[in-house]
Amino acid sequence: MSDQFIWGIEVFFNGLMAGVLYALVALGFVLIYKASGIFNYAQGVMALFAAATLVGIMNGQIPFAHLINTIFGTHVYEFGWNLNALVAILLTGGVMVLFAWVVQRVIFRHLVGQEPIILFMATIGLAYFLEGFSDLMWNAEIKKLDVGLPQGINLAIDEFTFNIFDYGFFIDNLDIVATIIAALLVIALTLFSQYSKQGRAMRAVADDHQAALSVGVSLNFVWIMVWSVAGFVALVAGIMWGTKSGVQFSLSLIALKALPVLMLGGFTSIPGAIVGGLIIGVGEKLFEFAIGPMVGGATENWFAYVLALIFLVFRPQGLFGEKIIERV
């Protein structure tokens, strides 16, 4: 076997792992879009906010420390504790639920029945507000996030592949953990929406508001629930990306990576988000590996979008999206 081919396999696997992370972000989009028809541009910033909150709670940072110090002339920055990661994650989950409640209460409750474009604009506003709010609350420094996830090369795979190909694959433990967690998350979400009472209410709202009201479903409750779940998904994505590359502004840009994933998979399909993420992840890594050197590299920046554009031409509803039929 040629070296090129073996390296290709390694790239393929690394692409799969990257794809899982894209899928995780895309999943947050799909959840909200399905249940409320809102394309939530703020999903990426939500991941940033969640990750920053998690770091803040773990390290005992005082929220709004800068603001407090400016107003009262004090010099307080930290509570001086270090919290267990699991407890901090649960607390951050609570913060995301609170966030969902506020967003629903303050913004989207007043925009029910508005045009999609208006809802979209509202989420853009939300995104920039949340970004500033996150900086104000937890300061804008680049923070290290370590919740105890394993990192670094997986030696077992390295050794195993070395014995077969005479070349050890480099696969990061963090990516493997991320894949497992993402898979569990998707399974849990699917089971929840298929079999639980609230899941059924969620699907009902996604399908027909009026009918949902008539069977006793509170739209408000469902929307808060969906935003909470999306917030939780953002938290998981934030943990993964934050562990990988630090909690910083660029984290919010992963939302832009999720766009082509959504175009590919369809805006309304959970499996679509997964498959779309994997295709984009693998596609861009393989493309960079095979074609990249010929065109001077850096193809990862645009490949996903070109792929998505091609998809838009042939299948505008995405791989798994609902078919758009307009009857006249």
User: Which of 67, 190, 208, 295 touches another protein by CB under 8 A?
Assistant: 208
Q: Does 197 bind another protein (CB under 8 A)?
A: yes
Part of the chain binding another protein (CB under 8 A), chosen from 49-57, 198-206, 275-283, 285-293: 198-206
Helix (H) or strand (E) holding 128: helix 116-138
61 has which bridge partners? 78
* Alpha helix (H) residue ranges in 246-323: 254-265, 270-290, 292-295, 303-314
Q: Which tokens hold the place of 18?
A: 């990257």
CA angle at residue 287 from 243 to 184, to 5 degrees?
40
73, 152, 216, 296: residue in contact with another protein (rule CB under 8 A) = 216
CA 251 to chain CA centroid, nearest Å: 10
| Residue closer to another protein, measured from CB, 36 or 59 | 36
Candidates 114, 139, 173, 198; binder of another protein (CB under 8 A) is 198
Q: How far is the CB of 235 from another protein (least distance, A)?
A: 17
Of 7 and 192, nearer to another protein (C-beta) is 192
State the Cα–Cα distance between residues 252 and 245, nearest whole angstrom.
Answer: 12
Q: Which of 254, 49, 262, 250 is nearest to 135 (CA)?
A: 49
Our finding on whether 325 is near another protein (CB under 8 A) is no
- Which residue among 84, 151, 214, 245 contacts another protein (CB under 8 A)? 214
Q: Which residues have C-beta within 8 Å of that of residue 233, sequence separation ≥ 6?
A: 24, 27, 28, 31, 185
Contact 273, 260 (CB under 8 A): no
Does residue number 101 form part of the binding site for another protein (CB under 8 A)? no
Using the rule CB under 8 A, is 207 a contact of another protein? yes
Segment interacting with another protein, rule: CB under 8 A, options 143-151, 211-219, 249-257, 284-292: 211-219
Positions in the binding site for another protein (CB under 8 A): 192, 195-201, 203-204, 206-208, 210-219, 225, 322
